[in-house]
Structure formats: structure tokens, C-alpha cells
Amino acid sequence: MTSDALRVPSYLRDVYGWAYLTPSLARWLDRQVVVQTILWGNAQRLIGDVLAEVKPGDRVFQPAAVYGDFSRQVAAKVGTDGKLDVRDIAPLQVDLTRRKLADLPQAHVACGDAADPHAQQADVVACFFLLHEVPDDLKVRITRAMLAQVAPGGRAVFVDYHRPGRFHPLKPLMRRIFDWLEPFAQRMWQSEIRDIAGPAATGFRWRKRTRFGGLYQIVVAERA
């Protein structure tokens, strides 16, 4: 077993090993059509919300690999004058993302833990559907780490699940999916990301919008 493999946390192996640590399934899941289906047809709309916060030439930090075209679209938006820095704690995800971005010189991929602040600050930190997949204590650590990496005048963009409206037709089904596959996701229905950040939220201007009847949220924290 490699040193990188030893760093993979137990919750990831136990809960998401099938999705992120199994090569055959990971390759199948890493397609835009699959992501679009999982997000009920909203993937591209939510990616667009992130891209709206990114400018050509920006330095973007992405704390975890994302299946589908997300990273390629962000790299295309920053262009060759910008930089996309992707980290993931799972070596398989690092390898898949490197291959996916191999033709884009502005994209850099390496192994890393989202809960540990990166040395370099970024104009945009893009946290795309990561928080709902980690235990509550890690939600706090990752949120604070992401805010710490925002450069002056920059912003952190969090896209994740959100408590849907009372009569949302998918609400009962999503609750069952969370119970079955996403045991850490319920917190996203109960807490605001700004509250999860705690004292680290100070010094940022926060704004939030929701999509698809409230099932998804886009939260932007801009450093004042």
C-alpha cells in the first residue's frame, strides 16, 4: 500500500469507496451525462453559477476532484493566463483528473487534503458538492480552510445540497437517498454554510441563492 493510499480517510473508504476508489465505477461515473442525471438535470446550470464568479486570468483553487466537465470548464474560463489548482485526497481521483486535464497547461492536479489550508491563496475557491460528503467535523474544517485560502478581494463559492421547499416532489426521495448513500448530507438541510464556518465567516460578504425549488444552494463568500 502506498503512502498516498494510507492517507485516504476511513469514512471515504467505508462510505464512498464504491464511487471514488473503485477504478471501473469511477471511470463510468466520471462523465457529464452521469453528473447531469444525478443532479436532476441541473449540473450545467450549477456549473454556470460557479463560472459566473470566475474571470479570465484568475487563480482558482478546487479542493476536491469533480466528476464530469466541471474542471475543464473552469480551466477554460481562466484561460492560459490563469491557473486551476485541483487537489484530492484519493490517488485514483488525482490520476483521473490529471488525465482529464492533461491538454490544459493552466491546470495542475495533486494529492491533498481539503481540510488543510493550501499555501497559496486564490482569487476563487470553488467547492462543488464536497461538504455534503464529509462528516460534520470535517465540514467545519474544510469550510474554514477554504475561506483561509481566499485572497483579498477574492471569493469562495460553495455549491451543494440545500433543504428544499416543504412541498418539493423530490424531498421524500432525496431523504431516502441520503439515508442510503449520503449519510453526511442531512446537515446541509439543517445548517447554513456561513454558520458552519463559525468565526471564520467574519470579514466576508455573504450571499446565497437556491435552485430547483431550493434543493441546491450557491453560497458566495467574498473577502471584504
* Residue 108 burial class via C-beta count within 10 angstroms: exposed 0-12, middle 13-18, buried 19 and up: middle
Tell me the average pLDDT across 14-19. Answer: 97
- The CATH code of the domain at 3-223 is 3.40.50.150
- Return the pLDDT at 3: 41
Whose CA is closest to 196, among 117, 114, 139? 139
Residue recorded with cell 475561506: 147
Degrees, nearest 5: CA angle 211-213-214 = 65
- Return the pLDDT at 117: 78
Sheet of strand 150-161: strand arrangement: 107-111, 83-88, 59-62, 122-128, 150-161, 216-223, 204-211
Domain spans, the chain: 3-223
88 contacts 97 by C-beta, under 8 angstroms? yes
pLDDT-based confidence at 189, cuts 50/70/90?
Answer: very high
pLDDT digits (tens, 9 = 90+) for 21-36: 999 999 999 999 999 9
pLDDT digits (tens, 9 = 90+) for 205-222: 999 999 999 999 999 999
- Return the pLDDT at 114: 96
Percent of the chain residues past pLDDT 90, beyond the cut: 94
pLDDT at 120 over 90: no
pLDDT digits (tens, 9 = 90+) for 41-89: 999 999 999 999 999 999 999 999 999 999 999 999 999 999 999 999 9
Look at the pTM and tell me if it is higher than 0.85: yes
pLDDT at 11 over 50: yes
The SS3 of residue 222 is: strand
* Residue 155 burial class via C-beta count within 10 angstroms: exposed 0-12, middle 13-18, buried 19 and up: buried
Number of DSSP helices (H) and strands (E) in the chain, helices first: 11, 7
Please give the mean pLDDT across all residues of the chain: 96
